[in-house]
Amino acid sequence: MNERSLAFLYSPEVEALSYPPDCPFKTQRAGLARLRLKSLGLLGNENRFEFEPRRATVAELKQLHPAHYLEEMQRAADGDLTVDGLHMGFGGPDTPVFKDMFECGARACGAGLTGAELLLQGRADIAFNLLGGFHHAFPERAAGFCYLNDVALACQKLADAGKRVLYLDVDAHHGDGVQAAFYDRKDVMTISLHESGKTLFPWGGFEDEIGEGAGYGFNVNVPLPAETYDEAFLTALDSVAMPLANAFEPDALVLELGLDILAGDPLTHLRMTNNVVVEIIERVLKLNCPILVAGGGGYHVENTVRGWALAWRTFCGENDECDFALGMGGVMLASTEWAGGLRDRVLAVSAEQRRAVEPELRTTIENVISNVFPLHGLEALRLGGRQVRSG
């Protein structure tokens, strides 16, 4: 097999851009991941190259966001927050108004579009846009640190080129903005696995939200109970998400790889380790289509950066055997530095945790299967059947 070609989208201009210091969303994660990859020798050659993305034009942003929203956003960034702007969500606790808000969003969208173009031109098999993943942005509403929806725009770009697009969102939060953008379409299938809306923002994304009109059955939600652990997550992935993804036969995948799913994230209640990242990537590679990876959430900065670096390394096809060996005897160099390589240690699962997660998740999986599987010619009998065991 030829070596896969990976593009890392990054530009020096974004180094200077930032959310307010007290905001948990840290744009610096992309740059930190880049440095980590360089230090590991995984970035900076012909097949693992950096690519400077462009900024999205206003005309491109208007593909999703109306002109008056973009104008109010620019106005707010310039220090003039109007009543209209407030109604659009600007200035909320998770949508602060700050100088770089428009520029950050336009750069993230530009990177997503650049990534989509690299895939369409065949210049990369995998494109990483860790500047993006703003899945909560609606056409006229900002929410959850998201103002401009780079992932929806990238999906649209790929769909405009005639591709069947799968959007797979594993961020801890429901991908509500992307769901809304494609809810009545069948050329873009959206699958979101996320902490249940019963315990986490944006308080929706339940398994009965399955699309409408032509898109009926092409929107899939798998809400995960709080405390969900690796094995339970993989059960959901293998019994619901991957069979549907395979049945859809996508020409392109947009993967929202928010790592606020990892245990220790300060904003969420899931208990996964980054070992699931490897499992996710091994599965999506089997779809055999080009992949745009978007960053998304992840509020424990070091865990997020390490998990993204692990994702990149997995896409590179690099063996990580020594990582395990190191991990076994690894020591903490400092509170934020794990000497055992990129992989997390496996986390023990308590009996209590299993009892809290398993019955609820089983019901959810059954619901998704009975709601959606028949619409794709899949037998409902595959219930609970995990096909692949983790490492």
- Kindly list the residues in this chain that would bind Zn ion in the complex (CB under 5 A): 171-173, 258, 260, 297
In the complex with Zn ion, which residue's Cβ is closer, 173 or 185? 173
CB of 95 to Zn ion, least distance (A): 14
CB-nearest residue to Zn ion: 297
Contact 233, 364 (CB under 8 A): no
Location of structure tokens 């173009």:
117
CB of 216 to Zn ion, least distance (A): 27
CB of 135 to Zn ion, least distance (A): 8
Q: Give the dihedral sign, CA 283/288/289/290.
A: positive
Sheet holding 252-256, edge to edge: 48-51, 6-9, 126-129, 291-294, 252-256, 165-169, 188-195, 219-224
Three-point CA angle 114, 300, 90, nearest 5°: 60
Contacts of 117 (CB under 8 A, 6+ apart): 157
Cβ count near 57 (within 10 Å): 12
CB of 200 to Zn ion, least distance (A): 8
d(CA 145, CA 48): 30
In the complex with Zn ion, which residue's Cβ is closer, 171 or 207? 171
Contact 246, 382 (CB under 8 A): no
CB of 190 to Zn ion, least distance (A): 15
Bond into 202 cis (ω within 30): yes
CB of 173 to Zn ion, least distance (A): 4
In the complex with Zn ion, which residue's Cβ is closer, 60 or 209? 209
Minimal CA–CA distance to 62: which of 122, 145, 148, 124?
148
Q: What is the DSSP string of 302-350?
A: HHHHHHHHHHHHHHHT---HHHHHHHHH--EEETTEESS-SSPPPPP--
Catalytic residues: 136
d(CA 3, CA 87): 49
Minimal CA–CA distance to 115: which of 11, 250, 260, 242?
11
Minimal CA–CA distance to 128: which of 17, 49, 27, 12?
49
In the complex with Zn ion, which residue's Cβ is closer, 94 or 318? 94
Minimal CA–CA distance to 266: which of 299, 296, 297, 295?
299
In the complex with Zn ion, which residue's Cβ is closer, 260 or 279? 260
In the complex with Zn ion, which residue's Cβ is closer, 137 or 369? 137
CB of 180 to Zn ion, least distance (A): 16
